Structure 1
Amino acid sequence: MNILWDFDGTLFNTYPAYTEILYEILDQAVPKKDIHNHLKISFTHAVQYYGLSKEQVKRLFAMEQTIDPADTTPFPFVEDILKFADLNVIMTHKPRKDVEHILKYYDFEDYFTEIVAIDDGYPRKPDPASYIYLHHKYKIDLVIGDREIDIVPAKSIGIKTCLFQNSAPGADVYLSAYEKFFDLTCIAIND
């Protein structure tokens, strides 16, 4: 099975660290749960929803650079799936150096054949251009993401999808925890 992964909130639990940063930028005036929910839609959505200024966004990016990889842990059992897959690739809006830094910290870099990051010049999801590139190159069987914008491009080009910790309509498979992957996903992919 060849899997295309989203990064933030799918492979690694990065949202708590991002929530803390945005909480600080918003002067601790917004509940963390609300911030988390808006970040789960998309970073762009959260910036627009909270009306962040260019200076606040610049500060957010600067603070993001100080996050310790120890605060962005891989989800339980995700490594089992990475080992199981024939091939893993990543498509993320995160800068490549940040992705590589976290992968190296957890000794995960050898699990991935290719990383398409925001600095590679592809349009942001849900535009399917990066997915088309990766699918043509690797014949992707499954896309795993935690947000609707992660599965929309896959659906548009006929790839099976899995939403992780998200019940938005449209996915082929829904997982609340990766230990259930082998029970649910293999059945849905073979349909």
Structure 2
Amino acid sequence: MNILWDYDGTLFNTYPAYAKRMSQVLGGQVSEEDCYTELKISASHAISKFQMTPPQIEEYNDLISAISPEEMPPFDHVEEVLKQADCNVIMTHKDQVGAYKVLDYYDFTKYFSEIITADHGFPRKPDPASYKYLHDKHHIDLAIGDRELDIIPAKQLGMYTCLFQNNKPADFHLEDYKDFFKVVFF
């Protein structure tokens, strides 16, 4: 099976660290839980929702880039799925340095045939251009993400979709990767 993965909130549990930094930038006026909820829709959504100013956005981005990999662990059992797949690729809005910092720290880079980041110049999701590129090159069977935004391009291209810890419409749903081979059938 060839799998296209989202990064934040799908492979790595990054949102608690992001929410903590956003709440900090907002002076504690917005709880970490509220930041988390809005970030799970998208970072741009949360920034708009909380009416963050350009200096706040810059501070937030600086804090995000300084987060240590220890605060962004892989989800339990995800490595077992990565090992079983024939081909894994990533499409993330994260910058290349930030993505590789965490992937290398957990020795996950070896599991991926290709990693597309914000630095590759593709339009942001839900535009399907990056997914089409990866699908044409690697013949993707399944796209996994934690947000509806992550699977919209896959649906447009006729791929099977799986949402992780999200019950929006998708072909498959997972709460824990230990159940991957019980839930996803090919």
Runs of at least 5 residues in structure 2 that lack an aligned partner in the other structure = none
Task: Name the structure 1 match of 2:175.
Answer: 176
Task: Name the structure 2 match of 1:4.
Answer: 4
AA matched with 2:164: F
TM (normalized to structure 1)? 0.96
Displacement after TM superposition at 1:31 (Å): 2.0
Task: Name the structure 1 match of 2:43.
Answer: 43
TM (normalized to structure 2)? 0.99
Tell me which stretches of 4 or more aligned residues in structure 1 moved more than 6 Å: none
Once the two structures are superposed, what CA deviation does each residue of 1:63-99 show, in whole Å capped at 9, x if it has no partner?
1121010000000000000000000000000001111
Query: Tell me, what secondary structure is at the counterpart of 2:126?
Result: coil
Query: Aligned residues: percent identity?
Result: 51
C-alpha distance in structure 1 between counterparts of 2:32 and 2:67, whole Å: 17
Task: Name the structure 2 match of 1:18.
Answer: 18
User: RMSD in angstroms over aligned alpha carbons?
Assistant: 0.6
C-alpha distance in structure 2 between counterparts of 1:117 and 1:183, whole Å: 30
User: Higher mean Cα deviation, 38-47 or 28-37?
Assistant: 28-37
Once the two structures are superposed, what CA deviation does each residue of 1:14-42 show, in whole Å capped at 9, x if it has no partner?
00100000010111111221110100000
Task: Name the structure 2 match of 1:94.
Answer: 94
Once the two structures are superposed, what CA deviation does each residue of 1:136-172 show, in whole Å capped at 9, x if it has no partner?
0000000000000000000000000000001112x10
Once the two structures are superposed, what CA deviation does each residue of 1:89-133 show, in whole Å capped at 9, x if it has no partner?
000000011111101100111000101101110000000000000
Q: How many residues align?
A: 186
